[in-house]
C-alpha cells in the first residue's frame, strides 16, 4: 500500500455503515456502563477510566481500515457499456 492509501484508510460503503453503527452503539453503552460501574464502586476514577478504555478500544476497532469493512467493494460498470454512448 502507498503511504497515501495507509493514511487515507478507505473503506467501502457497507463498511462505513457498519462502522457508524458500531460507533453509535459503543459510545452510548459505554457512557451508561461507566456511570453505573463507577457509581457501584463509588469511585469517579473508575468511571473515567472505563470510559477512556472504551474510547480507545472503539478507535482501534473503527479507525483502521480493517478487511471486515472492505467485504463489499463497489461494483463499477464494465467499460463496454460506456463506449456504446
Partner 1 sequence: MHSIYARANGISGLWSTCVMVLLGAVALSSFLFNADSKGSLDIVSLKVFHSKTRRYPFRNEEIGFVKFNLSADLTPLFNWNTKQLFVYLEAEYTNAQGVNNTVVIWDRIVRRKDDATIDIVQKEKYKLRDLSGSFSNVHPAQYSLKYSVMPYVGVLTYGEAARTTEAIDFPDARDSVS
Calpha distance 59→54 (Å, rounded): 9
**Residue 49 engages partner 1 in binding (rule: CB under 8 A):** no
Residues 6+ apart with CB under 8 A from 64: 9
> For residue 71, what is the DSSP state?
S
Among 2, 42, 75, 84, binds partner 1 (CB under 8 A): 42
**Residue 14 engages partner 1 in binding (rule: CB under 8 A):** no
Residues in touch with partner 1 (CB under 8 A): 7-11, 16-17, 19-20, 23-24, 27-28, 30-31, 34-35, 38-39, 42-44, 47, 51, 55, 58-59, 62-65
Amino acid at each position: 500500500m502507498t503511504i497515501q492509501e495507509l493514511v487515507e484508510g478507505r473503506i467501502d460503503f457497507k463498511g462505513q455503515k457498519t462502522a457508524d453503527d458500531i460507533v453509535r452503539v459503543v459510545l452510548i453503552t459505554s457512557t451508561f456502563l461507566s456511570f453505573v460501574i463507577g457509581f457501584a464502586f463509588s469511585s469517579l476514577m473508575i468511571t473515567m477510566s472505563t470510559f477512556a478504555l472504551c474510547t480507545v478500544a472503539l478507535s482501534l476497532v473503527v479507525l483502521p481500515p480493517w478487511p471486515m469493512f472492505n467485504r463489499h467493494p463497489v461494483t463499477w460498470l464494465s467499460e463496454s457499456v460506456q463506449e456504446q454512448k
